[in-house]
């Protein structure tokens, strides 16, 4: 339900009248825990937030766990097993607002690199007893399984963005995050474009801002941690890299990192991979 200003209605306790504070839950699926640690790293700001909500479920931070329903659930991690596919359905049922946080939850994360290969080959190569492994063929984002009310990208997320989103929900304002590219952040901090000046491949032009353009500031290309912008021109960037002398296979590896299974990166990578395959066949 929306408030008069057009945003979501302020979060009110999804509990009996005596429960004074909205209930917050944090859930982990297949991930490294980095996004949960980003929240804990907020320290003073987290303490202020804790005064406004009841942290009902957050096993990374407390042994105290309360049963749902929850007003806001933060979900970190990709869905990689049958058990996780069932559990996310229950989390959705118990949650008024469900927010997917981080590259794993919004795009499948590094785990999604398996999606381009046969998972059985990996299992046979890694595990001494493959028969004990119960997994899905693919690693997929939360939105592939349940309705997600908001996505917060990053590997890891920006803790201040997360706090801003939670604050917006508390006051009934529509949450928002930057949708422009990392290049804007480079300009703001006075960083010279490393692709133009040094010939370093960089995903900044097609990657959503949020990190403060850390890598280009240290003369390293952007790795795409925050996923694609709203309308990334992947073809143009791919052609630029080719003109710089990069092989299609090299560019595919650039696109297939933390957010490689996000639609824009995935489609661009697949297109270049097919180009490389066709080129090899012609030479053969």
Q: Give the count of alpha carbons within 13 A of 1, CB side only.
A: 6
Handedness of CA 136, 137, 138, 139 (dihedral sign): positive
Q: How much is the mean pLDDT over the chain?
A: 91
Please report, for the chain, the start and end positions of each structural domain, with discontinuous segments joined by +.
23-171, 182-283
Please state, in angstroms and rounded to a whole number, the distance separating the CA atoms of residues 20 and 9.
17
Positions of E strands within 134-240:
150-152
- Interval 134-176: pLDDT, tens: 999 999 999 999 999 999 999 999 999 999 999 999 888 888 8
- Interval 165-218: pLDDT, tens: 999 998 888 888 999 999 999 999 999 999 999 999 999 999 999 999 999 999
Note the pLDDT of residue 276: 80
- The yes or no reply on domain 23-171 and CATH 3.40.50.700 is yes
Query: 40 pLDDT exceeds 70?
Result: yes
Residue 98's DSSP bridge partners are: 73
């Amino acid at each position: 339900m929306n408030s008069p200003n057009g945003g979501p209605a302020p979060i009110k306790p999804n509990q009996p009248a005596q429960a004074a504070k909205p209930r917050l839950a944090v859930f982990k699926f297949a991930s490294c825990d980095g996004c949960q640690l980003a929240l804990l790293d907020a320290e003073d700001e987290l303490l202020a937030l804790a005064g406004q909500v009841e942290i009902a479920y957050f096993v990374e931070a407390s042994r105290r766990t309360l049963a749902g329903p929850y007003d806001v659930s933060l979900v970190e991690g990709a869905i990689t097993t049958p058990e996780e596919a069932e559990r996310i359905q229950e989390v959705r049922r118990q949650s008024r607002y469900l927010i997917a946080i981080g590259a794993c939850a919004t795009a499948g994360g590094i785990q999604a690199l398996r999606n381009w290969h046969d998972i059985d080959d990996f299992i046979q190569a890694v595990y001494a007893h493959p028969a004990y492994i119960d997994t899905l063929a693919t690693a997929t984002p939360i939105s592939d399984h349940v309705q997600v009310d908001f996505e917060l990208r990053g590997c890891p997320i920006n803790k201040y963005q997360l706090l801003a989103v939670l604050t917006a929900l508390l006051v009934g304002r529509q949450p928002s995050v930057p949708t422009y590219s990392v290049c804007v952040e480079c300009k703001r901090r006075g960083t010279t474009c490393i692709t133009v000046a040094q010939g370093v491949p960089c995903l900044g032009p097609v990657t959503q801002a949020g990190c403060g353009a850390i890598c280009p500031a240290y003369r390293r290309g952007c790795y795409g941690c925050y996923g694609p912008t709203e309308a990334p021109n992947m073809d143009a960037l791919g052609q630029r890299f080719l003109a710089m002398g990069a092989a299609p296979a090299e560019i595919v590896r650039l696109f297939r990192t933390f957010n490689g299974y996000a639609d824009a990166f995935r489609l661009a990578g697949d297109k270049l991979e097919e180009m490389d395959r066709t080129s090899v066949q012609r030479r053969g």
